[in-house]
Chain A
Amino acid sequence: DAGVIQSPRHEVTEMGQEVTLRCKPISGHNSLFWYRQTMMRGLELLIYFNNNVPIDDSGMPEDRFSAKMPNASFSTLKIQPSEPRDSAVYFCASRGSALSYEQYFGPGTRLTVT
């Protein structure tokens, strides 16, 4: 079975550019999570969806960040405009159902904003 798929794996962009990170959850999973990992702040939840509906976006840093889940098999996290402090590893994770507890993480996207 394919796990959570994220693309790109690495992204280098210049400050001010738009960045779009993509995630395909495990088929059949109905919860999707976006996390950000930095040395200073560790792993932080940005937003999560249940059945394609955003449930909690309180972790989204500011209006420059937006996330969508147009269907059960695809989600995007967009940063516009990007800033150097956005440099981090962004993880997507999915979970099977409300009764399951394990979140399966994707390999992450390492974003560098210069």
Chain B
Amino acid sequence: AQKITQTQPGMFVQEKEAVTLDCTYDTSDQSYGLFWYKQPSSGEMIFLIYQGSYDEQNATEGRYSLNFQKARKSANLVISASQLGDSAMYFCAMREGPFYGGSQGNLIFGKGTKLSVKP
């Protein structure tokens, strides 16, 4: 079974509008972390936002916010006021296990959503 599911292979959004990119996850751990990365056409992976499983507040970073619904196991990324430079692939990822100890660390990535912002 997939650990991270991104059901939208591609999405379009009008410039200046908000857009939500979906992500659902599957884990039996109580402690885990959820991440979103952006990959523009140039290829680099850019960290956007992080949500810990015990965080009570939804994470926000500038125009990015993470709509975390723990019971539904979803961690959707919301981009407000889309810009042309937001056109890219967006990956949701999960790290299972606690963050202390250092024995766990790898990220499990979804297949990604390609976002295109229209002028």
Task: Verify if B100 is at the interface (C-beta below 8 Å from A).
Answer: yes
Nearest-Cβ distance from residue B73 to partner chain A, whole angstroms? 19
Task: Verify if B68 is at the interface (C-beta below 8 Å from A).
Answer: no
Among listed A12-20, A60-68, A71-79, A97-105, interface-contacting one: A97-105
Cβ-closest chain A residue relative to B51: A101
Cβ-closest chain B residue relative to A95: B105
Cβ-closest chain A residue relative to B95: A101
Residue in A33, A89, A106 whose CB lies within 8 Å of B105: A33
Q: How far is the CA of A99 from the CA of B52 in the complex (A)?
A: 12
Q: Is the CB of A42 within 8 A of B109?
A: yes
A22-59: CB near B (< 8 Å → 1, else 0) gives 00000000110100000000111100101100011000
Residue in A30, A98, A108 whose CB lies within 8 Å of B44: A108
A90-114: CB near B (< 8 Å → 1, else 0) gives 0101010111111111111010000
Size class of the contact patch on chain A = 20 to 34
Q: Is the CB of A45 within 8 A of B33?
A: no
The total of chain B residues at the interface (CB under 8 A) is 25
Q: Is the CB of A31 within 8 A of B102?
A: yes
**A interface: dominant SS:** strand
In the complex, chain A residues whose CB is within 8 Å of the CB of B43:
89, 107-108, 110
Query: Beyond A31-B105, A50-B105, A55-B103, is A42–B47 a contact (Cβ under 8 Å)?
Result: no
Cβ-closest chain A residue relative to B106: A45
Q: Is the CB of B45 within 8 A of A91?
A: yes
Cβ-closest chain A residue relative to B111: A42
In the complex, chain A residues whose CB is within 8 Å of the CB of B95:
101
In the complex, chain B residues whose CB is within 8 Å of the CB of A106:
44
Residues of B within 8 A of A (CB): 33, 35, 37, 43-47, 50, 52, 91, 95, 99-103, 105-112
Known contacts A31-B105, A42-B112, A97-B102, then 17 further A-B pairs from the complex at CB < 8 Å, ordered by chain A residue = A33-B106, A42-B110, A43-B91, A44-B109, A45-B108, A50-B105, A51-B102, A55-B103, A98-B105, A102-B35, A105-B44, A105-B45, A105-B46, A107-B43, A108-B43, A108-B45, A110-B43
